[in-house]
C-alpha cells in the first residue's frame, strides 16, 4: 500500500493510490453517495493530504456504477431552518474542495445530481461514462442549487442550457453533456476508470509546478475579466522560466529524449 492509502481511514470514502495518482471513491452506496457533512469533511481532509504529498500529482474522484452522487443528503438537511443554514454556512465545505491545489478529475458513472453535479463541476475536468446522467433537480424540492450550480453550470454550458436544466430539473445524458461543454470526454462505462487513470497518470508525469500554474490560470479565467486573466497568465508563464523543469523540458526536446521532471 502507498502513503495516502495507509494513513487514511474513512467512513464514507475509499482511498487508494496508483503511482502518482490518488483515487478517492465516494462510498455511501445505500444512499446513492448522497453528500452528508461527514463525507464532505472527510473529502476535504483527504484532499488536504493529497495537496501536502509531493508523490501525488493528480487526484481522481469517483463514485459507484449507479451513482457518482445523487446530491446533498436530503434526509440530513430536510429539517434545517434558515438560521441553521445561514449560521453554520453549510456551503463552506464545497468552497474548501474548490480551493485545493492538485488537479482533480471527476470520473462520473450513473447519477450526478444536485450537489453531486456541483461537486463534479468543482473538479477540474469531468470524464463521463456513457451511462452518466447529470441534473440540477433542486427546483423539484422547492429549493435552488446552492453549491455553485447556477454559476459554474452557466459558465460551462451557457445561459440557455443552464436555465433549462435549473428551471425544469430535467436530466441530460453523457452525450448531451459533452455536446454542451460540461464534460471533457465520454467513454464506455466499462472503460471509465482505465481511461481516467490514463489521463491522470499523464498529468501526474508532468512538472507539478507547471501543472499547478495551468490549473490556477484556467480557474482564474472563470473569475476575472479577460485583461486581468491575461495579466496573471503572463506572470505565471514568466515564472515557469525560474523552474529547473523548464530547463529540463526544453533541453530534452533539443536532445531528442524524454524529460525527467523533478517538480521544481
Closest to ligand DAK by CB, 1 or 83: 83
Nearer to ligand DAK, 118 or 245 (CB): 118
Identify the active-site residue in 138, 174, 200, 210.
138
Closest listed residue to residue 151, CA positions, set 171, 195, 121, 106: 121
Length of the chain: 264
Name the percent of the chain in helix, strand, coil, to the closest 5.
Answer: 50, 15, 30
11 in active site: no
Minimum CB distance to ligand DAK, residue 256 (Å): 51
Instruction: Please give the Cα distance from 248 to 78 (Å, whole number).
Output: 55
Q: Which CB sits closer to ligand DAK, 118 or 178?
A: 118
Binding site for ligand DAK (CB under 6 A): 31-32, 34, 70-75, 90-91, 94, 111, 113-115, 118, 137-138, 141, 146-147
Phi/psi at 78 (5° precision): -65, -30
Q: What is the spatial order of strands in the sheet that 133-135 belongs to?
A: 67-69, 111-113, 133-135, 171-173
User: Which residue number, 34 or 200, has a Cβ lying nearer to ligand DAK?
Assistant: 34
| Minimum distance, C-beta of residue 172 to ligand DAK, in the bound complex (Å) | 14
Shortest CB 264 distance to ligand DAK, Å:
37
Instruction: Name the catalytic one among 115, 135, 148, 149.
Output: 115
Closer to ligand DAK by CB, 67 or 200: give it.
67
CB of 100 to ligand DAK, least distance (A): 17
Q: What phi, psi does 57 have (nearest 5°)?
A: -105, -15
Q: Is residue 118 among the annotated active site residues?
A: yes
CB atoms within 10 A of CB 101: 15
**Residues 257, 148: Cα–Cα separation, whole Å:** 44
> What is the smallest separation between the CB atom of 98 and ligand DAK, expressed in angstroms?
12
Within the chain, what is the greatest distance between any pair of CA atoms? 65
- Cα separations (Å) of 68 from 85, 106, 131, 193, 248? 25, 9, 11, 13, 39
Q: Is 138 a catalytic residue?
A: yes
Q: Is 72 part of the annotated catalytic residue set? A: yes
Q: Which of 22, 114, 118, 149 is catalytic?
A: 118
Give the nearest residue (CB) to ligand DAK: 114
Residues designated catalytic: 72, 115, 118, 138
Amino acid at each position: 500500500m502507498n502513503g495516502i492509502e495507509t494513513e487514511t481511514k474513512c467512513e464514507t470514502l475509499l482511498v487508494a493510490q496508483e503511482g502518482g495518482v490518488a483515487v478517492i471513491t465516494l462510498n455511501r452506496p445505500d444512499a446513492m453517495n448522497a453528500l452528508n457533512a461527514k463525507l464532505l469533511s472527510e473529502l476535504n481532509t483527504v484532499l488536504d493530504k493529497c495537496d501536502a504529498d509531493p508523490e501525488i500529482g493528480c487526484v481522481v474522484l469517483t463514485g459507484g456504477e449507479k451513482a457518482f452522487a445523487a446530491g446533498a443528503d436530503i434526509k440530513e438537511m430536510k429539517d434545517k431552518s434558515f438560521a441553521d443554514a445561514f449560521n453554520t454556512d453549510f456551503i463552506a465545505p464545497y468552497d474548501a474542495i474548490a480551493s485545493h491545489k492538485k488537479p482533480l478529475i471527476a470520473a462520473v458513472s450513473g447519477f450526478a445530481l444536485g450537489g453531486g453535479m456541483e461537486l463534479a463541476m468543482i473538479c477540474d475536468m469531468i470524464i463521463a461514462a456513457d451511462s452518466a446522467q447529470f441534473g440540477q433537480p433542486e427546483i423539484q424540492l422547492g429549493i435552488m442549487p446552492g453549491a455553485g450550480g447556477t454559476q459554474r453550470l452557466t459558465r460551462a454550458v451557457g445561459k440557455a442550457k443552464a436555465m433549462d436544466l435549473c428551471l425544469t430539473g430535467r436530466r441530460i445524458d453523457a452525450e448531451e453533456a459533452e455536446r454542451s461543454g460540461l464534460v471533457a470526454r465520454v467513454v464506455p462505462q466499462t472503460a471509465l476508470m482505465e481511461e481516467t487513470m490514463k489521463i491522470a497518470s499523464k498529468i501526474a508525469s508532468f512538472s507539478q509546478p507547471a501543472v499547478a500554474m495551468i490549473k490556477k490560470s484556467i480557474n482564474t479565467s472563470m473569475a476575472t475579466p479577460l485583461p486581468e486573466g491575461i495579466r496573471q497568465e503572463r506572470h505565471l508563464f514568466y515564472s515557469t522560466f525560474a523552474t529547473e523543469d523548464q530547463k529540463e523540458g526544453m533541453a530534452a526536446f533539443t536532445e531528442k529524449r524524454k524529460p525527467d521532471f523533478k517538480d521544481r
